[in-house]
Amino acid sequence: MDMSDGNGISRRGVMGGAAAGLATAAAAGQASAQTAAPAASDGVAKEDPTTKYAKPPFRSQSQPWPGLAGQMDPRPDHGETSYKGSGRLRGRKALITGGDSGMGRAAAIAFAREGADVAISYHPDEEPDAREVIDLIKKEGRIAVALPGDIRDEALCARIVADAVQQLGGLDILVNNAARQQQRPALLDITSEDFDATLKTNVYAMFWLTKAALPHLTPGSAIIQTTSEQAYDPSENLVDYAMTKAAMMNFTKSMAKQLGPKGIRVNGVAPGPIWTPLQVSGGATQEKLQQFGGDTPMGRPGQPAELASIYVQLAAADASYATGQIYGAAGGSGQP
């Protein structure tokens, strides 16, 4: 039954016209949205993280401690060609221990590309790797300071900080990253010399460097420790190393409480299995090295470049409420 109003326009006609109008509008809107949407090539391409880097098995390889990234196969990715900065650390002054390789190198490259001047400390035997990092920092137009030496010496740690402050013109960021890792199958195989060397490199140096740096740090400064999943889930053959990483985690949380009122933030990064010289210079058995990272949900070890943005975030001003935190990156395993 057709119900018409006094003007001869049927209700059915009105409803039909409205529906047609809505359909036309919807089609036009959809076309407009399709026109406005960027093509896939205009965005950032998605990558499958499980296939982004090499998976085990890896070639059996060994180097004398402390090892060189430049002699590893495959060579680790520290972000040399991939990290793009955006000025998040412009004008900052950073000191990074172990800045020649691993997460320290990735942080140094990223910091420089974010606008920071960077000093790196490293063991003298790591000079070839360190020179590459210094060149990369300079390429960004930033001040680069090379500070070789064995940080198991308290006087050297004080001198490293003093030299960094003098040559950079100040200090805003301290990254305690340098570490010693030597696997031993049993406690009876860990000598007192081993134990002493690991604790002095990983814990004493952090303590000495932080003490020396504190008089130079002002509100807005940041301290970052590289701890490890080993702090939470220690391996049976890394007893002394795991102990030091737990100590670093606790130091981070204690110092965050102590320095929070002064406006200085203290955080940590807890990597899982990351492809660095630690593994090929005595940090893993050859059997574990060949299958390194294969037991993670991603089926591969991480690369230092994949953690660079975490160090940047913890150093940047927009992370102003993050302190006393441990940021994990373990490919789906480990803690936190």
pLDDT in tens, 1-52: 333 343 434 433 433 444 444 343 444 444 443 434 444 457 888 999 999 9
What value does the mean pLDDT take over residues 102-119?
98
Is 13 within a domain?
A: no
**Could you confirm whether 311 is annotated as catalytic?**
no
Catalytic residue among 53, 241, 311, 327: 241
CATH number at residue 273: 3.40.50.720
What value does the mean pLDDT take over residues 87-106?
98
Is 71 within a domain?
A: no
What value does the mean pLDDT take over residues 320-328?
98
Residue 187 has pLDDT above 60, yes or no: yes
Percent of the chain residues topping a pLDDT of 70: 88
Residue 80 has pLDDT above 90, yes or no: yes
Residue 266's domain spans which residues?
A: 87-329
Residue 317 or 31, more confident? 317
What value does the mean pLDDT take over residues 203-229?
98
Residue 110 has pLDDT above 80, yes or no: yes
Indicate the pLDDT class of residue 336, thresholds 50, 70 and 90. confident
Residue 208 has pLDDT above 60, yes or no: yes
Is 172 within a domain?
A: yes
Q: Which of 36-50, 69-83, 203-217, 299-313 has the lowest mean pLDDT?
A: 36-50
Q: What is the mean pLDDT of the chain?
A: 90
Q: Give the span between the Cα atoms of 219 and 252, in whole angstroms.
A: 17
Is 15 within a domain?
A: no
Q: What is the pLDDT of residue 41?
A: 58
C-alpha separations of 174 from 59, 286, 312 in Å: 35, 34, 12
Q: What is the pLDDT of residue 44?
A: 81
Is 57 within a domain?
A: no
What value does the mean pLDDT take over residues 237-245?
98
pTM, two decimal places: 0.87
Is 183 within a domain?
A: yes
- Contact in structure between 85 and 113 (CB atoms under 8 Å): yes
Closest CA to 322 of 244, 253, 245, 228: 253
The CA-CA-CA angle for residues 223, 225, 226, to 5°, reads: 150
Q: What is the pLDDT of residue 27?
A: 42
What value does the mean pLDDT take over residues 163-170?
98
Indicate the pLDDT class of residue 335, thresholds 50, 70 and 90. confident
C-alpha separations of 220 from 16, 223, 263 in Å: 65, 10, 6
The amino acid that residue 54 corresponds to is A
Is 27 within a domain?
A: no
Residue 145 has pLDDT above 80, yes or no: yes
Please count the structural domains in the chain: 1
Q: What is the pLDDT of residue 159?
A: 98
Percent of the chain residues topping a pLDDT of 90: 85
Is 29 within a domain?
A: no
